[in-house]
Amino acid sequence: MLYVKAPAKINLTLDVLHKRPDGFHEVEMIMTTVDLADRIGLESREDGIIKIISADRYVPDDQRNLAYQAAKLLKDTYNVQAGVSIVLEKRIPVAAGLAGGSSDAAATLKGLNRLWNLQLTADQLAEQGAKIGSDVSFCVYGGTALATGRGEKIQELPSPPNCWIILAKPSIGVSTADVYGGLKVNEIIHPNTTEMIRAIKEKDYELMCATMGNALESVTLKLYPEVSTIKEQMMKFGADAVLMSGSGPTVFGLVQHESRVNRIYNGLRGFCDEVYAVRLIGERDTLA
């Protein structure tokens, strides 16, 4: 069995520029990986079947699963006769705005590239990943990046200033389609992507905190008041900056001083079942 790590991501900024003729939204966002990860186990099969195995009842085990789609895409594109058993050991919450499914798909692409000896480059895998979902290309590379287009155009950035990340996910699911559907592009407060890039390049933690922004947040907060409550509590307990990741519902806080991490973590456990204290990864992993 070949194992591949599939880390979660957070959005330090997420801006929506306009709706495109293809129905997608043109976005501009800065994403970075954090040390909360699923583990993907891959084992080749002689019968040609793609089989998803997961103990998590919220994870689909058919073609709806992005890891399944990743395996099928490589199998069909490169005429692979073998099948694969894909074991998903989930740690990233499902439907949380942390790209868990996309990261699983990216890890599957990277792992099968080795298992099936396809000898594809990271750029080729990211190009295939874009056919599966908007975040998959970023997840193939990992690290920190500016993502544009519908999220598939990736420009590498250096690692942000090091800090702790507190993640808190309320026990609700959020429909990304509903959030984008409720978005009024002419009313968006746009985050300053350029300033965030400067903060990252100059390792300026205070500027990074001051520049975080998510254009989808106002829509999700209206639809799901629980997200507002978690944001308020996280700030009250002492996080340096707090933002919703992706289309939600997970909220994350940046914390520079380790002494504050336990207080925030323990305080949030009263409001939220799923709370994690993790570090930023921030740098690209070598291609699996």
Active-site residue list: 9, 135
Check if the beta carbon of residue 170 is closer than 8 Å to that of residue 220: no
Provide the 8-state DSSP code for 282: -
* Chain mean position to CA 179: 17
User: Using N-to-C axis directions, what is the helix angle for 258-268 and 225-237, rounded to 10°?
Assistant: 140
| Cβ atoms of 53 and 87 closer than 8 Å | yes
Q: Where are the beta strands (DSSP E) in the chain?
A: 2-19, 25-45, 50-54, 83-89, 144-148, 153-157, 164-169, 213-214, 241-244, 251-255, 274-279
Q: What is the DSSP string of 134-199?
A: TTHHHHHHBSEEEEETTTTEEEEEPPPPP-EEEEEE-S----HHHHHHT--GGG-----HHHHHHH
Single-letter amino acid, residue 28: E
CA dist 6 to 138, 150, 167, 222, Å?
12, 21, 17, 31
d(CA 91, CA 222): 28
Q: What is the DSSP letter of 280?
A: B
CA–CA dist 73, 30 (Å, integer): 27
